[in-house]
A = this chain, B = another copy of it.
Amino acid sequence: MANAFGIIASSGTHIKVEGLLDYRPIAAFSFLGRYRVIDFPISNMSNSDIDHIQVYIRRKPRSLVEHLGTGRHYNINSKKGRLQILFAQNSSENDVYNTDIAGYLENIEMIERVHQPYVIIAPSYMVYAANYDTLLQTHIDSGADITLLYHSVDNAKEAFLNCDILNLNKQKGVESIEKNRGSAKNRNIFMDTYIMKKDLFVELIHKAKKMSSMITLPQIVNASCSELDIRGVAHRGYFASITDFKSYFDANMSLIDLKNSLNLFNPEWPIYTRTNDSCPTQYFDNADVKNSVVSNGCLIEGTVENSVIGRGCQIKKGAVVKNCVILANSIIDEDVHVENQVIDKWAQITREREIVAEAGHPGYIRRDDIL
C-alpha cells in the first residue's frame, strides 16, 4: 500500500560474471544455497509494502520467470498487487544498445499506466536489506528530486571496482556519479538504488533517449546533478555487489560467518524465496561438516568445511569439500577432493579425484558438467 511502485533493473552490460552468466542473468544466480539474488530486492520491496513490482529481464528469462511465478511466495497479493515481468529485447547487433534506458523505453506504456506517484528502482545484482518505505518517507520529507542509496566502504581500492561511486557535498547533495577506478580506499559506493517521482523518471528516460542511445540511467542522473536536487542516503548493514566471479564467490563465503549473516537476515525482515519442497538434509555416519551453510535435501557422507552447499547435493563417502560454493543438485563422488571452486547446478564430479584452485582465485565448474 506504499505510494511507490518498484522496479528491479536488469544488470548492465558492463557486468560480467564468467561462467554462471552463460546460463542465467545475475538476478537468477543461486545465493547462499537456498536463495536467488533477486529474492533480496523483491523481499525488500514486499516488506516495504510495495505491491506493484516490475522486473526487467534482458536475456535467458526461463529460470527467473519460473522462480518469480506470480509472486505469492513473496507475500504479494496477486489481485491487488502485481509482480510484472517485462522483457527488454536483447540486441545482438551491438551490445552498447542494450542499456537499461532501452528496456524502459520498450515498456514505457507499462510504466505510464502505473498509478503510484513514486518509483523505487533497485538493482538485481546487489545483496542488501533496506526498508524502502522509510527511505521513501525520508525522500518526501527532504524535498529532494532524487534520492540515491549508497554504502560507505574502506576497501574501494581492491573491491567494488565495477561499481559507481557518489561524490557528495557536506549536505549529502550528490555532486557527481562516477566509476570507481580504485584510486581511493574510502568511497561511497552507489547502490544503484533510486527514489524519485514516476513523472521525473519518465522524463529522464525521454531525455536520455534524446541525448544518446547508449546513455544509461546513472549517466543521465549524473548529467542532471546541477539542475536537480539529488541527495545521497547512507545504508548500513550487510552489503555485497556481484559484479564479477570473484565478488560472487566472496559474497557467499562472507555469509558463512553467522555474525555477518545476522547483519543481513533479520526475523522481522524476512527474505522470501521459492520453496523447492526438499526434505531436510541427511547426515550419515561418516559425515564431518564444519563451518558451513547447508541447504535442505542434501545427502552428506563426506567432509565439508567452510563451504556453501546448495539444495539436493550429494557429498559421498570420503569426499572432501573445502572453501566451495556448490549449487543445487550437484554430486561430489566418493573420495573426490574439491577446494576453492564454484560448482554449478547438476554437475557431477566423479572421475577427477582432485580439483583444487589456489585461495583467492576460485575455479568454476560448468552446469550439467561431468568431470
Contacts and interface: CB of A to CB of B under 8 A. Distances in A.
Contacts of A18: none
A77 interface: no
Given A65-B65, A277-B79, A368 B109 contact: yes
Contacts of A109: 368
A86 B70 contact: no
B87 A61 contact: yes
A84 B69 CA distance: 10
Nearest to A70: B69
A62 interface: yes
A77 B320 CA distance: 40
A92 interface: yes
Interface string A79-101: 10000111100001100000000
A62 B61 CA distance: 11
A66 interface: yes
A328 to B, nearest CB: 13
Interface string A262-285: 000000000000000100000000
Contact of A70 (B70, B107, B277): B70
A77 to B, nearest CB: 12
A93 B60 CA distance: 18
A79 B69 CA distance: 13
A69 to B, nearest CB: 5
Indicate the size class of the contact surface on chain A.
10 to 19
A85 B85 CA distance: 13
Nearest to A367: B109
Given A79-B277, A277-B79, A87 B69 contact: no
A45 to B, nearest CB: 18
A181 to B, nearest CB: 36
A109 B92 CA distance: 25
Contact of A92 (B66, B92, B277): B92
A107 B63 CA distance: 12
A107 B69 CA distance: 19
A84 B66 CA distance: 7
B79 A62 contact: no
A70 B65 CA distance: 10
A64 to B, nearest CB: 10
A92 B91 CA distance: 9
Contact of A65 (B60, B79, B85, B277): B85
Contacts of A61: 61, 87
What are the 8 A-B residue pairs with the smallest beta carbon separation, nearest first? A69-B70, A62-B87, A65-B85, A61-B87, A70-B70, A65-B65, A92-B92, A62-B86
18 contacts: A60-B87, A61-B61, A61-B87, A62-B85, A62-B86, A62-B87, A62-B107, A65-B65, A65-B85, A66-B84, A66-B85, A69-B69, A69-B70, A70-B70, A79-B277, A92-B92, A92-B93, A109-B368
Interface of A: 60-62, 65-66, 69-70, 79, 84-87, 92-93, 107, 109, 277, 368
